Amino acid sequence: MIEIQQLTKSLHGGGHRVDILTGIDLTIPDGQFVAVTGPSGSGKTTLLSLIAGLDVPTSGSIRVDGEDITKLNEDELALLRGRRFGFVFQNFHLIPTLTAIENVILSAELTGASSAHKKSEDLLGVVGLGDRLHHYPSQLSGGEQQRLSLARAFVNEPDIVLADEPTGNLDSKNSKRILDLIAELHRVKQATIILVTHEPHVAERTQRILTMDDGKIVSDTPTNTL
């Protein structure tokens, strides 16, 4: 479970303070598939970064299974991210000098996972890249690169997957395929998934839609998705 209490994030510069998040209170149960929506600048990506421990809040707490991650040092956060989190980014963040399977294997090996090669190969098959194992990212289409990033995110069977605009650079056909894969991986792996998007049709594929504006959650709506 993720529990957030009175979370704020402010930046200071030029004698001015900019409030990015202003007192977020939020609880996300284990296994829930959540969309975070809202206009640009509303604080969506900042919230995701704070949950991941990639940024430090100005005040407030973020608890993952009861542990306040805002009190962890960088080494402890890195260990937590490797063991508990998977990440899917809009711009993929793949290593260009590694093949598809090497990108996934590296993610598995960094956390000391056993049978990294077999797990990586199996998961690439699940996302439809079984015949592209030895291709480099530059040899893959945008949709294929995003499917590769999904395999990398799920290879360590994380409890929590954070996805920042995972369909933002894709056409409608590839966008639907990625959403179908995320939904299927959610069903099979039962991970908690938090997906940032500005696209209503993407948000509607989740179980719960959080809408942000001016650094606050202004609505919290369950969907009819099972």
Structure tokens at 136: 């480099």
pTM of the model: 0.89
Q: Which pLDDT does position 204 carry in this prediction?
A: 92
Q: What is the CATH number of the domain that holds 19?
A: 3.40.50.300
Report the distance separating Cα 225 and Cα 40, nearest Å. 26
User: 3-class secondary structure for 147-184?
Assistant: HHHHHHHHCCCCCEEEEECCCCCCCHHHHHHHHHHHHH
Q: Which pLDDT does position 47 carry in this prediction?
A: 96
Q: What total of structural domains would you count in the chain?
A: 1
pLDDT tens, position by position, 152-178: 988 888 899 999 988 888 888 888 888
Give the angle subtended at the CA of 142 by the CAs of 139 and 144, to the nearest 5°: 70
C-alpha closest to that of 124 among 94, 142, 104: 104
pLDDT tens, position by position, 35-69: 999 999 999 999 999 999 999 999 999 999 999 99
Q: Which pLDDT does position 225 carry in this prediction?
A: 61
The fraction of the chain above a pLDDT of 70, given in percent, is 97
Q: Which pLDDT does position 66 carry in this prediction?
A: 92
Q: Which pLDDT does position 39 carry in this prediction?
A: 92
- Helices in the chain by DSSP H: which ranges? 44-51, 74-84, 100-110, 116-126, 142-154, 172-189, 200-203
Phi and psi at 101, nearest 5°, equal -70, -30
Domain containing 154 equals 2-222
Q: Which pLDDT does position 226 carry in this prediction?
A: 52
Q: Which pLDDT does position 113 carry in this prediction?
A: 67
Residues of the chain with pLDDT under 70: 111-114, 225-226
Q: Which pLDDT does position 90 carry in this prediction?
A: 79
